[in-house]
Amino acid sequence: MAVIHRTTMSPGKLELLAGWLPLRPWYRGGTGGPQLARAGGFRLDDPEGEVGIEFMVVTDTCGAAPVNYLVPLTYRGAPLEGAGDALIGTSEHGALGQRWIYDGTRDMVLVEQLLALLAGRATAQDQNTSDAPDPTVEVRTGAPGVPEGLTGPGTVTDTADATLVTVGPAGRKRPVWTLAVVRVLLPGDAPAGDGVRGQVLAGWSAPDDARQHGLFAHLATA
């Protein structure tokens, strides 16, 4: 169970993301740098209790219209070996000390817990409260459902609006599934396309505080 600490982080998450987001191929902001605000999200638990997992939504208002981005993050107490290109930055946590913050789509712990969520083996947790499930996070599965035993990440590819992560059964060299993590969030329903086995939908707040709901991630045959 993830414990939410009421403390400080220096630099803060938004400060780190302001330098990282403009370097992403899916960033759509204007000139002058991001103007970010937290807009929602949820957490997942690491079964080992070592890695913090957060699906953070931030709104950028620097362009002609606000854009909502999904940024899956992992928080670690030591560097993740071989993941230097996924490092967003380090921060001093008021209770836990130095934390290494990663783009979670490149972190096996987050990817495997997202797969567990899609398979019904994990429960989304409230973003700001310890030991509190988030009932607003919706998981939809299509026949014949999400298989167990998938692992990743394999190849990770950023597109103009998503990050595509190949996953597959443990021990199999060739992944057979694509886990798509939406980066530019749009409100509305998410009809399943061909080969889609599972979807995660969740909510966030618009700049006027109106609640919005849309697709965060889906799993499909490659």
Residue keyed to tokens 């630099």: 11
Which pLDDT belongs to residue 167?
A: 93
Which pLDDT belongs to residue 153?
A: 86
Task: Single out the residue of 118, 101, 109 nearest to residue 179, CA to CA.
Answer: 118
Which pLDDT belongs to residue 192?
A: 67
Handedness of CA 112, 114, 118, 122 (dihedral sign): positive
Which DSSP letter does residue 6 get? Answer: -
Say which residues have a Cβ less than 8 Å from residue 9's Cβ, sequence separation at least 6.
Answer: 91, 92, 93, 94, 99
pLDDT tens-digit profile, the chain (222 residues): 566 666 677 799 999 999 999 999 999 987 788 999 999 999 999 999 999 999 999 999 998 899 999 999 999 999 999 888 999 999 997 667 799 999 999 999 999 999 999 999 999 999 989 889 999 999 998 877 788 888 888 899 999 999 999 999 877 666 689 999 999 999 998 766 778 999 999 999 998 889 999 999 999 987
Q: What gap in Å lies between CA 10 and CA 117, rounded to an integer? A: 31
Q: What gap in Å lies between CA 55 and CA 71, rounded to an integer? A: 6
Which pLDDT belongs to residue 131?
A: 87
Query: Cα 56 to chain center, whole Å?
Result: 6
Contact 219, 57 (CB under 8 A): no
Say which residues have a Cβ less than 8 Å from residue 1's Cβ, sequence separation at least 6.
Answer: 45, 130, 131
Which pLDDT belongs to residue 125?
A: 97
How many CB atoms within 10 Å of residue 217? 26
Q: Which two tokens stand for residue 76?
A: 């670690």
Q: What gap in Å lies between CA 216 and CA 196, rounded to an integer? A: 14
Which pLDDT belongs to residue 31?
A: 75
Which pLDDT belongs to residue 174?
A: 63
